[in-house]
Structure 1
Amino acid sequence: MYLAPSMAVRSLKPIFIPKTPTPKPKFFSFSSSASPPLSNQPELVSTVTSILTHHRSKSRWNTLLSLYPSGFTPSQFSQIVLQIKSNAHLAFRFFLFTKQKSICNHNFASYSTIIHVLSRARLKTRARNLIKDAILAPGSDFHGTEFKHLKLFESLVKTYNDCGSAPFVFDLLVKSCLEMKKIDASIEIVKLLRSRGISPQVSTCNALIWGVSRCRGVNEGYEVFREVFGVDDGEKGRNVKRVAKVKPNVNTFNALMVCFYGEGLMEKVEEIWNEMETLGCVANAYSYSVLMQVFCDEGKVREAEKLWKEMRVKKLEPDIVAYNTMIGGLCKIGLVMRAEEFYREMGLRGIETTCATYGHLISGYCKVADVDSAIMVYKDMCRKGYRPGAATVEVLVGRLCDIRRVLEALEIMRVAVGKHDVCPTEKSYEFLIKGLCEEERMEEALKLQAEMVAKGFKPNMKIYGAFIDGYLRQGNDEMIAMLRREMLETQNGQEED
């Protein structure tokens, strides 16, 4: 995958890394374009700098307004900020002052100067916010610029050395673009950096892979992974420019595995696991949890248990995700007693249960027809203040209705709605209406059906069938005929839709 850089950036001079160490490595060969030489306007710069550094806060701003009511040019602002760059908080307050009083029509160069100053002081959040402001800012300097991120990148490069900035300023640019959902911009900036022999931080690469995978699919995210980490560099021949290599870490592979799992590409999760081992990256507890989840979803619980043992041999402490994965996988195939062993081990190790833990156990007990144990776990969950999920309520209601404990199921759902603000599923209503109709409690079934419609669920064929069966038991031919006509009309309407 290759995105060609725009013409605006293609003309930039190459970046170089100095051969001799210096206190502040200059990664870029550009001379500063943040401002003209200070000799042009030394008096203004000197005066403003003196006021900012020596006056008290309140008088400082009033004095500046009285002396310079027409404000400052972006070039003047940059010169002033360069003089106080060792005091990043003061520089930032000066920037905010010029914005609030509308006394400087900022452009990319002035934004770049303050962004660099904040970056070198490691005020990363403020720097990222200003990067986003610069990309979104209106004004003559920004008007009609289709690729603002590239213009800002170019400006940051040109002002980098004179501001004594930190290399991660470009990581902040990439992450800001990702936050703004500008995926192409993020990819292009990373490629421009790598083409000049510089690789972003691994956390930035991981964020890029995650963002691309979520917005465009994990296959494209995987291609970005191979490119930004130089996985294919050895296959492209001798003419490929060597990049200062950054190695993927365990979070890189975890992100890829989670994304492949999310898209149902289970075999790819195992491939990523193998690639992680090949590249010498050590899996952590979360990595094991993802692969165990894959095995559990495929019914390969024995393989998942082998991974669990391997994880313990390596002295990796399983977290709640790992425990929930194993408990869920065992409950899914009916091995509830084994799941209970994991549950008890959690308690002994001081790991707090979650709603998912209880949900797995409730589903497991329902699966093996031990509904009383399921109810006991459900009540324990509610007693401890956990809010039951709609799916958990559905499983429990369905199992109770299967064994004709309909009123008990109805009470559980009523409490879940009233006390825990659970929104019942359509299936829960179906189970209850069918159970009530089988017991010829037609009035209660009708009330529940009206509540179901109020919740936005339309009557389906199963609901009609339940009511017809109920009225058949009562011999109510009139209601049966009416329901059959209505059912036919509903079915025809659904077919037309």
Structure 2
Amino acid sequence: MIRRLSIYLPTLFQSFSNSTFTNETLPFSSSSSSSTLITLHDSHSKRTLSPFYNLLPPTQNPNNVVNLISSILKHKSSHLSLLQSNEIKGILPQLGPHEISRVLLRCQSDHSSALTFFNWVKNDLNITPTLQNYCVILHVLAWSRVFSQAMELLAELIQMVEVEGVCASSNEGIYENLVGCTEDCNWNPVIFDMLVKAYVKGGMVEKGLETFRRNIETCLIPNVIACNCLLSGLSRFNYITQCWEVYEEMGSV
């Protein structure tokens, strides 16, 4: 059974912003795992649009972009026609990062629709998703246990953020944004193990070790596969001391 972590996010974010971790442990909640979807809240600031937009037909109302796209995505036969839909072209300029995340959140129970939408935004609209947009789709895929596609997007995101410097938001990195999105998303803690593996496979073993340490500090128990992947990466670079550190942590859980 997958254990989920009860995180008091403001405290955790404060520790991230200070680049240090406290000695306080964060308890696992055995009752937090559920097959039902959590209630979603739009916790991000909304852009202010003129109330006169509500006098327009729904397909011309910029306020309606999230509802309209979400409605189209619910009809699987309409996935491909979404790209040619004339009825939404007029309001697509209102499809910003906040709206993209809201659509993804509404698709939590249907990872296929979420991924279709995400790829449509990225490939057909030529909109570069934000770091938060990536983290939301990663949580959706991991929650649905679509691990292969989640790993592909993780590798893509790491390349963009760590190598190309794209998608960076202020001083927050991938880890901080993945944690932040747990406030609104259903999530599976395995995504944090996958981040360790993705860093190692991308040749960034130091970042993989840093992520491993953060997982330990926040009581996210690493799985054996992630530990073995990290040990393999550390040994290739002759990080013997760090290998023993990981090995000792494996023996203590």
TM-score (norm 1): 0.39
1:178 to 200, 207, 224: 200
Shift of 1:165: 0.9
2:11 corresponds in structure 1 to none
Q: Which has the higher contact order (CA 8 A, sep 6+)?
A: 2
| 1:98-137 aligned within 5 A | 98-137=121-160
Q: Would you say the 8 A contact 2:140–2:185 is kept in 1?
A: yes
Give secondary structure in 2 for the equivalent of 1:10. Answer: coil
2:59 corresponds in structure 1 to none
Q: Would you say the 8 A contact 1:34–1:113 is kept in 2?
A: no
Structure with larger Rg = 1
1:193 corresponds in structure 2 to 215
Tell me, in whole angstroms, the C-alpha distance in 1 between the residues paired with 2:93 and 2:165.
Answer: 18
User: Which runs of at least 4 in structure 1 moved beyond 6 Å after TM superposition?
Assistant: 31-34, 37-42
Give secondary structure in 1 for the equivalent of 2:203. Answer: coil
Q: Would you say the 8 A contact 1:9–1:154 is kept in 2?
A: no
Q: Percent identity?
A: 22
Tell me, in whole angstroms, the C-alpha distance in 1 between the residues paired with 2:45 and 2:78.
Answer: 29
2:112 to 42, 66, 89: 89
Shift of 1:118: 0.7
2:250 corresponds in structure 1 to 229
2:96 to 67, 73, 80: 73
Shift of 1:161: 3.9
Amino acid across the alignment from 1:203: I
Tell me, in whole angstroms, the C-alpha distance in 2 between the residues paired with 1:11 and 1:37.
Answer: 32
Tell me, in whole angstroms, the C-alpha distance in 2 between the residues paired with 1:169 and 1:19.
Answer: 18
2:32 corresponds in structure 1 to 22
Runs of 5+ in structure 2 lacking a partner?
A: 1-14, 50-61
- Segment of structure 1 superposing worse, 62-71 or 182-191: 62-71
Tell me, in whole angstroms, the C-alpha distance in 1 between the residues paired with 2:222 and 2:80.
Answer: 41
Amino acid across the alignment from 2:102: Q
Tell me, in whole angstroms, the C-alpha distance in 2 between the residues paired with 1:66 and 1:77.
Answer: 15
Give secondary structure in 1 for the equivalent of 2:185. Answer: coil
Amino acid across the alignment from 2:67: S
1:169 to 191, 202, 216: 191
1:152 corresponds in structure 2 to 174
Tell me, in whole angstroms, the C-alpha distance in 2 between the residues paired with 1:6 and 1:219.
Answer: 25
Q: Would you say the 8 A contact 2:21–2:217 is kept in 1?
A: no
Mapped pair 1:61 → 2:83: yes
Shift of 1:68: 3.5
CA RMSD, aligned part only? 3.4
Tell me, in whole angstroms, the C-alpha distance in 2 between the residues paired with 1:67 and 1:133.
Answer: 31
Q: Would you say the 8 A contact 2:46–2:98 is kept in 1?
A: no
Shift of 1:141: 4.1
Against the structure 1 CA distance between its residues 20 and 126, is the aligned structure 2 distance closer, same or farther, given a 3 Å change threshold? closer
Q: Would you say the 8 A contact 2:25–2:219 is kept in 1?
A: yes
Tell me, in whole angstroms, the C-alpha distance in 1 between the residues paired with 2:21 and 2:241.
Answer: 32
Shift of 1:9: 4.2
| 1:429-448 aligned within 5 A | none
Deviations 1:243-291 (A, max 9, x none): xx2xxxxxxxxxxxxxxxxxxxxxxxxxxxxxxxxxxxxxxxxxxxxxx
Tell me, in whole angstroms, the C-alpha distance in 2 between the residues paired with 1:84 and 1:10.
Answer: 35
Deviations 1:89-147 (A, max 9, x none): 111111111111245332111110001001111111111111122222257642897xx
Amino acid across the alignment from 2:70: T
Shift of 1:224: 2.7
1:43 to 44, 59, 64: 64
Shift of 1:217: 4.7
Amino acid across the alignment from 2:31: P
Against the structure 1 CA distance between its residues 15 and 155, is the aligned structure 2 distance closer, same or farther, given a 3 Å change threshold? farther
Q: Would you say the 8 A contact 1:34–1:110 is kept in 2?
A: no
Shift of 1:190: 1.0
Against the structure 1 CA distance between its residues 16 and 6, is the aligned structure 2 distance closer, same or farther, given a 3 Å change threshold? closer
By percentage of residues, which structure has more helix?
Answer: 1
Runs of 5+ in structure 1 lacking a partner?
A: 26-30, 232-244, 246-497
Tell me, in whole angstroms, the C-alpha distance in 2 between the residues paired with 1:152 and 1:32.
Answer: 22
Q: Would you say the 8 A contact 1:71–1:103 is kept in 2?
A: no
Against the structure 1 CA distance between its residues 66 and 74, is the aligned structure 2 distance closer, same or farther, given a 3 Å change threshold? same
Against the structure 1 CA distance between its residues 140 and 201, is the aligned structure 2 distance closer, same or farther, given a 3 Å change threshold? closer
Give secondary structure in 2 for the equivalent of 1:223. Answer: helix
Amino acid across the alignment from 2:27: I
Q: Would you say the 8 A contact 1:174–1:190 is kept in 2?
A: yes
